[in-house]
Amino acid sequence: MSPRHDHSHDHSHDHSHDHSHDHSHDHSHDHSHDHSHDHSHDHSHGPVTDRDPESWREALPRGAGVGKTVLLDAFSGIAGDMTIGALVDLGVPFQVVRDAVEALGLGGYELVLESVPVGAIGATRFDVRLVGGGGERSYAQIREIIGSSQLEEPVRDLALRIFRILAEAEAAVHRIDVEAVHFHEVGALDAIVDIVGAAACFEYLGAKVLVTPLPLGRGFVECRHGRIPLPAPATLGCLKGLLTVDAGIEGELVTPTGAAIVAGVAQSTATWPSGAPLAHGWGAGTKHLWDRPNALRAVLLAPQDSSDTLELLEANVDDLTGELAGHALEVLLGVGAVDAWIVPITMKKGRPGWVISALAPREVAEVVARCVLRETSSIGVRRRTVRRLVRPRREILVETPWGEVRVKVSEGDFGPPQIKPEFTDCQRVARGANQPVREVLNAALSAARATLTSEGPQAGL
């Protein structure tokens, strides 16, 4: 850390929350929030926990979530360790986490997976046990470790994005440059493992991610530099734009690491979405909560019906620059709008202006409306309910001569299916193989048609 800062932000805030939400803010606060939700519920008829945690569920294949949704049901909050526990319990092979962490080339830790009871529910607990080594690391050092690792590119990019969110939140709290943020040896290693392991799990599934409104606890925690209020300031910094609710209890339920992961992967916050549950998993904390089981539930859901109800939100503006207009659309889509657009109009007194429009699910419409007011000069937003008929959509994973590509398939009783390779995947594969993007697009399209033909008769194929 630079001499002028002397913060040594040892993010391990030593909160001793015992939530095992793995707070490793590791801003040298020595947070050891120990969010370890300590489950000694003492159920004499509780779940059996002496078997291999992975023996309780069917393993999911790579890409099992493509075209589907993973809902993180965070009724007791979220932390890095709970996220990995829930996704492995859902069906992601634990080896995915091991391989990703080993690709970093670090030592001084042991990864532990075990079955534990959360009240009357059997769950999976993930833990990082330190066995020596480590040391304080700055954000710049962690970025270098991840960036120069042997991780697959999508996992590496997602992990870097999550760590950037966490580092920027910490920098804002302490009012220092992002590069000056330091992580304490315990929290740094925990946070690295949790973030990289979670990124690997989400990329393995390939699903859209939603999270329920996040419950925030109250009270104070002790850190190296004194007491701080809950929710922790860095947690709030990570949760910008996501819905939160009062948990009604004392203690830290959402850790900075958990908040950063959610901010990096979740499309939006939502109540339970429409869809058919296909699998579910439970990730345990370690501290006993008196009013609820201390676990994170992950649910894999099949696509929604072909008809849904949305809100159409519109606002007129006459003083928006092109840069701000583009930024506003990006923000609206980022907080959960399913579509957003701008149309030029002529306003009163002959002034040129814009209509900014967004379609949003009802559960996030309020957030989208507030973003319109925040990101533009409009003083009001029109809202009305609309229904749309859509083709049933899914994604399939196909193999090209140069690598895997996701392909969007829109079907239904509307004529031949529409098939569209994911362009960003084609770009990534083309770069890695030094091939023209159009060649990868054509190969992915041919592979997708062959896959659909093998599934059964398809009109137009």
User: pLDDT tens digits for 200-251?
Assistant: 999 999 999 999 999 999 999 877 667 889 999 999 999 988 889 999 999 8
Two tokens, residue 119: 């009240």
For range 365-375, the mean pLDDT? 92
| Pick from 26, 33, 32, 31: nearest CA to 9 | 26
- 33 has a pLDDT exceeding 50: no
Integer Cα distance of 50 and 279 in angstroms? 22
Domain spanning 307-389: CATH 1.10.10.1100: no
Q: 299 pLDDT exceeds 90?
A: yes
Cis omega (within 30 of 0) on the bond before 231?
Answer: yes
DSSP code at position 45? T
- What pLDDT sits at residue 235? 93
Q: Is 133 exposed, middle or buried (0-12, 13-18, 19+ CB in 10 A)?
A: exposed
As assigned by CATH, the class of the 393-455 domain is alpha beta
Domain chopping of the chain, boundaries: 10-301, 307-389, 393-455
At residue 29, does pLDDT exceed 70?
A: no
Average pLDDT, rounded, for the chain: 84
User: What single DSSP character describes residue 271?
Assistant: S
pLDDT, residue 411, reads 81
Q: How large is the average pLDDT for residues 182-192?
A: 72
Give the burial class of 435: count Cβ atoms within 10 A of its Cβ; 0-12 exposed, 13-18 middle, 19 or more buried: middle
pLDDT (average), residues 80-103: 97
Q: Is the dihedral of CA 149, 152, 157, 160 positive or negative?
A: negative
Q: Count CA within 13 A, CB hemisphere, residue 143.
A: 17
What would the pLDDT profile of 389-417 be if each residue is shown by its tens digit? 888 778 888 999 999 999 999 887 778 88
The answer to whether 340 and 329 have CB atoms below 8 angstroms apart is yes
What is the structure's pLDDT at 306?
60
Give 30's pLDDT tier (boundaries 50, 70, 90): very low
Question: Where do we find the tokens 């040896």?
Answer: 185
Token pair recorded at residue 256: 């900075």
Residue 359 in this model has a pLDDT that exceeds 60 = yes
Class of residue 339 by CB neighbours under 10 A (exposed 0-12, middle 13-18, buried 19+): middle
Q: Specify the pLDDT at position 217.
A: 92
Q: Which residues of 183-194 are buried (b: 16+ CB within 10 A; e: fewer)?
A: bbbbbbbbbbbb
Determine the pLDDT at residue 48.
Answer: 59
Asked which of 5-14, 184-193, 251-260, 435-444 is least confident by mean pLDDT, the reply is: 5-14
Torsions phi, psi for 268 (to 5 deg): -170, 170
Whether 1 has a pLDDT exceeding 50, the answer reads no
Written as one letter, the residue type at 146 is: I
pTM for the model stands at 0.64
The pLDDT tens digits of the residues spanning 137-168 come to 889 999 999 999 999 999 999 999 999 999 99
- CA distance to 130, 390, 416, 444, 457, per residue, from 460 (Å): 58, 19, 5, 17, 9
Q: Which residues contact 76 (CB under 8 A, 6 or more apart)?
A: 37, 215, 253, 285, 289, 292, 293, 294, 295, 296
Q: What is the mean pLDDT of residues 44-56?
A: 72
Over 60: is that where the pLDDT of 186 sits? no
Distance CA 164, CA 162 (A): 5
Give the model's pLDDT for residue 322: 85
- Is residue 11 predicted with pLDDT exceeding 50? no
Identify whether the C-beta of residue 369 lies closer than 8 Å to the C-beta of residue 383.
Answer: yes
Bigger pLDDT: 20 vs 377:
377
Give residue for tokens 């062959």: 450
